[in-house]
């Protein structure tokens, strides 16, 4: 009987010792190392620089200064989901840390492309903790955009001008198949936008709301987007069909922002289709009027115009899940 009790005692002591050693081994190992993916880029935007060129930009990742941060990768797909290859046959464009934009040429006007940007952190191996090298990739942020024609001259090769009320030249402009025409009241049905200086009231806007009040003008609505040195300076993430368009005219004296005013516009066609574009008035010093005080005083403009109907340039940015390699 004593022998049985003694055996039970030794067995109990052995189990307790094993349990103690096991607990010590766990403590020595510590918590497993978990590497995290970097924060994704934000505020991804784009603009059309011409009929085959798009610039996209973004705010860099909040983790861009982290050890091992490896910069950004941009991929580009067309409407069919096919990946566009860059120079050298690679499927992505590397964007170094400290850079937040890229310009891509060789695209087709009217086709909507999807730009997708990720960033990554490269973690080295940790042999002491038996951890292999690893790359963690952020969520992908995308913006969709289409190239559009950049129009800096009218059909006659001159700068795009809208003249005053007393001029022999036209006070309005029309757009047909990507060509800009300077038009007068006699061709009112094709008017889209106009400059008015009648009775000293200097305004720009939809032909339907101009001081000339022509009948049967083209159906063009505008919305002021903001200001910039050029159309390339105004990038967006949302499509142009989200703007609050209306037939409206603006007194030039109210356009007081820094730089040139940039408007989005929408043209309703008789076929019940829509063309979208942007127009920028070009300042003349502190004024908008050139040859001021003469019968032929005028304002000047530069236009970005989407020739393909019902293509509003873009859609809102999206995100996909992060990954690790």
Closest C-alpha among 277, 300, 283 to residue 109: 277
Task: Tell me which of 26 and 324 has the higher pLDDT.
Answer: 324
d(CA 95, CA 119): 9
Question: Percentage of residues in the chain with pLDDT exceeding 90?
Answer: 64
Checking 75-78 for CB contacts under 8 A at 24+ apart, the result is 75/115, 75/116, 76/104, 76/113, 76/114, 76/115, 76/116, 77/113, 77/114, 77/116, 78/111, 78/113, 78/114
Look at residue 323 in the predicted model and tell me its pLDDT. Answer: 56
Confidence of residue 16 (pLDDT cuts 50, 70, 90): very low
Give the range with max mean pLDDT: 85-89, 181-185, 253-257.
253-257
- Please say whether the beta carbons of 211 and 203 come within 8 A: yes
Domain 42-148+314-324 fold is Immunoglobulin-like (2.60.40)
- Please say whether the beta carbons of 124 and 295 come within 8 A: no
d(CA 274, CA 255): 27
Q: Give the full edge-to-edge strand order of the sheet including 193-196.
A: 179-183, 172-176, 193-196, 203-206, 249-251
Six-digit token pair at 226? 């903001």
d(CA 171, CA 201): 14
Look at residue 208 in the predicted model and tell me its pLDDT. Answer: 86
Q: Note the pLDDT tens digit of each residue in 128-154.
A: 777 889 999 999 999 999 999 999 999
List Cβ neighbours of 215 (8 Å cut-off, separation of 6 or more): 188
d(CA 125, CA 216): 73
List Cβ neighbours of 1 (8 Å cut-off, separation of 6 or more): none
Task: State the average pLDDT over residues 246-268.
Answer: 94
Q: Note the pLDDT tens digit of each residue in 180-195.
A: 998 887 777 788 999 9
20, pLDDT greater than 60? no
Task: State the average pLDDT over residues 219-231.
Answer: 93
Residue 191: helix, strand or coil by DSSP?
coil
214, pLDDT greater than 80? no
The reported pTM is 0.81
d(CA 315, CA 253): 33
- Please say whether the beta carbons of 322 and 138 come within 8 A: yes
Task: State the average pLDDT over residues 93-104.
Answer: 96
In the chain, domain spans: 42-148+314-324, 150-305
Look at residue 218 in the predicted model and tell me its pLDDT. Answer: 75
CB atoms within 10 A of CB 30: 8
Give the range with max mean pLDDT: 71-80, 180-189, 200-209, 211-220.
71-80
């Amino acid at each position: 009987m004593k022998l049985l009790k003694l055996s039970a005692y030794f067995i109990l002591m052995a189990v307790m010792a094993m349990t103690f050693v096991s607990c010590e081994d766990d403590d020595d190992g510590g918590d497993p190392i978990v590497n995290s993916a970097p924060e994704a880029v934000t505020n991804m935007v784009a603009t059309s620089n011409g009929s085959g060129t798009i610039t996209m930009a973004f705010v860099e990742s909040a983790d861009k200064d982290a050890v091992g941060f490896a910069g950004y990768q941009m991929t580009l797909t067309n409407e069919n989901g096919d990946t566009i290859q860059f120079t050298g046959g690679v499927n992505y464009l590397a964007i170094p840390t400290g850079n937040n934009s890229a310009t891509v040429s060789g695209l087709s006007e009217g086709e909507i492309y999807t730009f997708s940007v990720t960033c990554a952190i490269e973690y080295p191996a940790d042999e002491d903790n038996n951890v292999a090298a690893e790359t963690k990739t952020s969520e992908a942020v995308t913006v969709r955009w289409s190239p559009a024609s950049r129009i800096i001259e009218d059909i006659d090769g001159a700068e795009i001008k809208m003249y005053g009320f007393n001029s022999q030249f036209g006070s309005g402009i029309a757009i047909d198949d990507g060509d800009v025409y300077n038009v007068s009241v006699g061709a009112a049905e094709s008017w889209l936008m106009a400059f008015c200086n009648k009775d000293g009231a200097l305004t720009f806007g939809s032909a339907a709301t101009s001081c000339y009040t022509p009948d049967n003008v083209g159906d063009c609505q505008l919305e002021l987007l903001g200001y910039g040195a050029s159309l390339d300076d105004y990038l967006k993430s949302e499509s142009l069909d989200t703007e609050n368009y209306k037939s409206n005219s603006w007194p030039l004296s109210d356009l007081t922002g820094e730089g040139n005013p940039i408007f989005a516009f929408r043209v309703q066609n008789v076929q019940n289709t829509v063309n979208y574009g942007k127009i920028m008035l070009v300042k003349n010093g502190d004024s908008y009027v050139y040859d001021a005080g003469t019968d032929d005083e005028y304002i000047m403009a530069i236009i970005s115009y989407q020739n393909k109907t019902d293509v509003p340039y873009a859609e809102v940015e999206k995100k996909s899940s992060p990954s690790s390699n």
